[in-house]
Amino acid sequence: MPIYEYRCSACGHQKDHLQKMSDAPLTTCPACGAESYAKQLSAAGFQLKGSGWYATDFKGSTGASPKTEPTKSESPASTPCGGSCACH
């Protein structure tokens, strides 16, 4: 069950509530009784750890140095595109 963060706009009371996704949102503040208790947007409460796909399949996320562009002194045939594109 997810944990939702609520805040009362009348008194500023803030509290986390464990609710089912199908439960109706809370509206009554437990501190002041006002009908201004609403869910807040908050960061997800999980971390990705280890060497899974998210660490290895995104360009530049592995910590390896980025590929360098060929210098102008290199011949077009020695570039990855073989000199057939407009980048040289």
Domain locations along the chain: 3-39
Query: What's the whole-model pTM score?
Result: 0.50
Residues 6+ apart with CB under 8 A from 20: 1
**Dist. CA 1–CA 14, nearest whole Å:** 19
The per-residue pLDDT for 7 is: 96
| Tens digits of residue pLDDT in 40-77 | 987 766 777 777 766 566 656 555 544 555 555 555 55
Q: Residue 24 — very low, low, confident or very high, per pLDDT cuts 50/70/90?
A: very high
DSSP, res 61? T
